[in-house]
Amino acid sequence: MSTKFSVHESGGAPLKLWDSHAPFEAQAMQQLRNIASLPFIHSHVAGMPDVHLGRGATVGSVIATKKAIIPAAVGVDIGCGMSAVRTSLTAGDLPDNLGAIRADIERAVPKGFETSQKANHSKGGWASTPNSIGRVWHDRFEDRWRRIKSKHPKVDGKTTDQLGSMGGGNHFIEICLDEEDRVWVMLHSGSRGTGNRIGTYFIDTAREAIAKERLDFHLADRDLAFLSEGTELFDDYIEAMSFAQDYAMANREIMMGRVLDALRGHVPPFKTDKAAINCHHNYAVREHHFGEDVWVTRKGAVRAREGDLGIIPGSMGTGSFIVEGAGSADSFHSCSHGAGRVMSRTQAKKLITLEQHQEAVKGIECRTDAGVIDESPAAYKDIGAVMEAQTDLVRIKHRLRQIINIKG
């Protein structure tokens, strides 16, 4: 399979870019060059075809680092990712009016600023949730969280209250159909306020630590402040980041269970595939690439080793893809995490009309009010072009089209 990336010199490490919308926006390119200028970058920086401007580091970038990690590159939505499961249902098993399914899912899964605690005490909430979430929290997280807070009290915030909740922004829940009209459930969420507190705290702490050091190179952006391996602060960040990543994974597991339970009230009995796809796309992990063990930060990118299953969503009106990794060494075994924004949220609210949004999502049971204009399909890149740009990174297994979309 031929490679589809282009190589760009940066003054530091090379950039390998999968250009779906060449050229990448100027600000994103500058961010990529800033990252590549760091002396601990390993081999090169990879830019996925959904690249767009981020905080410090570019969304859609894969950054391999030696003996250092950049908290802002991991970001504040630590462990944000996708989950999908295929059911035995087909389109013919669904009711003609999908509004009641959407309403029950919205009651079951907190969204926006809602918390699990609010849902548990509301009429029609989750009858079994308090005990099940309590067990998950106690068995997986309580001791770890207590240890993290004892060393860094400022990371404290909502924890169990937000397990099983979606949040807002680009997070979503969807009921989809594949090319055989099989019904899938798909969702997008992360570590919620817990990951945000951890990420924000360690980004600030890294800045403070770097400000006290005499670097022998120029840090192009203060959001590229890094933590050096072998220091206590580095170890503390790895522990807290790993906690948030595991929290995000559990959050999606609980959400998926709640969505499937809500769906069961409207359709015939059904089964699901034994294993759901559950993958991060904002995270860091230790991996081996180009002869060395390094830290790989995927900021808006999915791991795509040979045979890995992943999810690449488009937008709330354009469908999504279930993919299998092709194991590209040049991308550090990675692929895009979605279509990528082509407009900022502010631009989208100014440029996209309500009528345009309603036309773009016609036929989908979803929100069509002004509150989701910034998530309208026109705010995102063409998912078809994004997929075409990475045929050397993934193989398409299924294309999904949403019939229900739920936004925070």
- Among 8, 44, 281, 337, the active-site one is 337
Q: How many CB atoms lie within 10 A of CB 97?
A: 10
- What residue segments make up the domains of the chain, in order of their start? 5-171+191-305
Cα gap 313→243, rounded to integer Å: 25
* Domain 5-171+191-305: homologous superfamily in CATH: tRNA-splicing ligase RtcB (3.90.1860.10)
Angle made by CA atoms 316, 170, 106, in degrees to the nearest 5? 75
pLDDT in tens, the chain (408 residues): 567 899 999 889 999 999 866 678 889 999 999 999 999 999 999 999 999 999 889 999 999 999 999 999 999 999 999 999 999 999 999 999 999 999 999 999 998 877 765 544 333 333 334 447 878 888 889 999 999 999 999 998 767 788 999 999 899 999 999 999 999 999 999 999 999 999 999 999 999 999 988 888 889 999 999 999 999 999 999 999 999 999 999 999 999 999 999 999 999 999 999 778 999 999 999 999 999 999 999 999 999 999 999 999 999 999 999 999 999 999 999 999 999 999 999 999 999 999 999 999 999 999 999 999 999 999 999 999 999 999 999 999 999 999 999 998
Residues 6+ apart with CB under 8 A from 176: 183, 184, 185, 186, 319, 320, 400, 401, 402, 403
Q: Other C-beta atoms within 10 Å of 300: how many?
A: 25
Burial of 292 (0-12, 13-18, 19+ CB in 10 A): exposed
Residue 337 appears among annotated catalytic residues: yes
Structure tokens of 166?
């979606």
- Give the Cα separation of 302 and 321 in Å (integer): 13
pTM here is 0.93
- CA–CA gap between residue 90 and residue 10 (Å, rounded): 50
Backbone angles phi, psi at 344, to 5 degrees: -70, 165
